[in-house]
Amino acid sequence: MLIKNIRNIMVSVAGVAVATSAMAEGAAPTVYGEFRTEFTRKDDGLAKIEDGGKSVATAMLNLNEVKFGLKGKFNERTSYNFKLNFTDTANIIDLASATWKASDMFAVTMGRDYVRQGGFSNWDNSFDNIWGDRIQALAFSRNATSLSLNMTPSAGHNVTIQLVNDIMTDDPTTTAANDGPASYNSAHKQPAAILEYTGDFGPIKPIVQFGQYDMNHSSFYNVGARGNFGATALSFDYGAKSASMPVGTSDKAAVATNMTLRAEHEVGSMVPFVWFNSFNVVDKDVNPAGTETKTNLTAGVWNDNATQISVGSSFKNFGDNWTPYVAYRMTSGKFLSTKLVEKSGSESELGLGVTGKF
């Protein structure tokens, strides 16, 4: 019932906003876009996990991201943001939200928006993600239909309460180690709730996120910070997702954790960077006989553990909106071979690309 009411409110607000916009004069929207294209040479060393296996090298030209958006105001208090992602046909609507600013302190956002999880590293995992695709412990997809209350008690400090459709699956084979619980929430009985705080303490900007989902049986949190110190930029995120499932007569959880570190330093027209990310799942409590899964079970599927390292540089001498880059990336972890032998494997790639925006 709550979700149905939220949808009715969204339709009503959108209708009023559009009508108000039609009467407004000089309400010119802003058109923007962004893209990333890259040439990669990838060395798949995971084939060596099997006896006699040889690594396979491939070279490819990729169009990684193409997004176009439209943002502006319906009226003095209501703004909108609409963005299409043409490289993700399954989720082509990246953003479609409207924000009503009740006052300088309170605002309400409704529509398809980014889910507040994963810290700064998740926000950065977008078109300009030149350092590599982060393996993350996220409870939700990156964006979803949501209702958010944004509060700004003082300049630079923001608190957001976000409601999203809860996790729901009827797949009895689903386990907490990968996609979460089997079926606590079977009929969208209530939305999931997320709380986020972002602050501004001069050069340091912290972030804290906490959410409960699957009928409050499961939860996640993230703590992180950004720092800008002249030509040097640093960021750190640590988060965990505790996905519960019924085991016997009690709830047990598999806990997936992430840690991400990134450093950049501008030297003339170059911005060298180093990036590190770790991912691990502890699922002893939910596995039969209390055994711990210590390996990724399928080559190329990082669902248990991974270590990622990326080094490279972007180049600023082509202007702010056109940025070439070079990056070397490597992902490694433990796998189980077909002979049930635990082995370490890795895959690496060299990327040469460019990002653009307007």
The full DSSP string for 94-126 is EEEEEEEE-SSSEEEEEEEEE-S-SHHHHHHSS
Question: From CA 350, how far away is CA 330, in angstroms rounded?
Answer: 9
Contact predicate 242/219, CB 8 Å: yes
- Report, as an integer, the average pLDDT of 293-300: 84
Reported as a single tens digit per residue, the pLDDT across 2-23 is: 444 444 434 444 443 444 444 4
pTM: 0.84
Q: What is the pLDDT of residues 151-161, one digit of tens each?
A: 999 988 999 99
Q: Would you call 5 exposed, middle or buried from its count of C-beta atoms within 10 A (0-12, 13-18, 19+)?
A: exposed
Element (H, E) at 12: helix 2-23
pLDDT of residue 127: 53
Q: Which residue has the higher pLDDT, 142 or 124?
A: 142
Alpha helices in 63-212 (DSSP H): 119-124
**Pairing between β-strand 106-114 and β-strand 143-154 as defined by DSSP bridges:** antiparallel
DSSP conformational letter for 77: S
Q: Could you tell me how far CA 73 lies from the centroid of its own chain?
A: 27
Q: What is the pLDDT of residue 38?
A: 95
Please, what is the average pLDDT of the chain? 85
For 137, 180, 281, 287, 342, the CA distances from 292, given in Å and listed in that order, are 18, 17, 9, 7, 13
Q: 74-80 long-range contacts, Cβ below 8 Å, gap at least 24?
A: 74/17, 74/18, 74/20, 74/21, 74/24, 74/27, 74/98, 75/17, 75/20, 75/21, 75/24, 75/27, 77/101, 77/102, 78/17, 78/20, 80/17
- Mean pLDDT check: name the lowest of 127-136, 143-152, 345-354: 127-136
Domain ranges (residues) in the chain: 2-21+38-357
Render pLDDT for 52-96 as a digit per residue (tens, 0 to 9): 778 889 999 999 889 999 999 999 999 999 999 998 888 899 999
In percent, the amount of the chain with pLDDT more than 70 equals: 87
The pLDDT tens digits of the residues spanning 26-47 come to 468 999 999 999 999 999 888 8
- pLDDT tens digits for 190-245? 899 999 999 999 999 999 999 999 888 889 999 999 999 999 999 999 999 988 87
| Position 311 pLDDT exceeds 50 | yes
Is pLDDT at 291 greater than 70 in this prediction? Answer: yes
Mean pLDDT value across residues 329-358: 91
> Which two three-digit tokens encode residue 225?
């910070």
Measured at the CA of 84, the angle between CA 82 and CA 88, to 5 degrees, comes to 145
pLDDT at residue 149 greater than cutoff 70: yes
Task: For the domain covering 2-21+38-357, report its CATH number.
Answer: 2.40.160.10
CB-facing half-sphere around the CA of 33: CA atoms within 13 A: 10
Whether the pLDDT of residue 183 is over 80: the answer is no
Q: Say how many residues make up the chain.
A: 358
CA angle 228, 230, 234 (to 5 degrees): 30
Give backbone dihedrals phi and psi of 185, rounded to 5 degrees, phi first. -100, 100
The backbone torsions φ and ψ at residue 161, rounded to the nearest 5 degrees and listed phi first, read -110, 120
pLDDT of residue 325: 96
Average pLDDT over residues 251-261: 90
User: How many Å separate Cα 170 from the centre of its chain?
Assistant: 25
Position 25 pLDDT exceeds 80: no
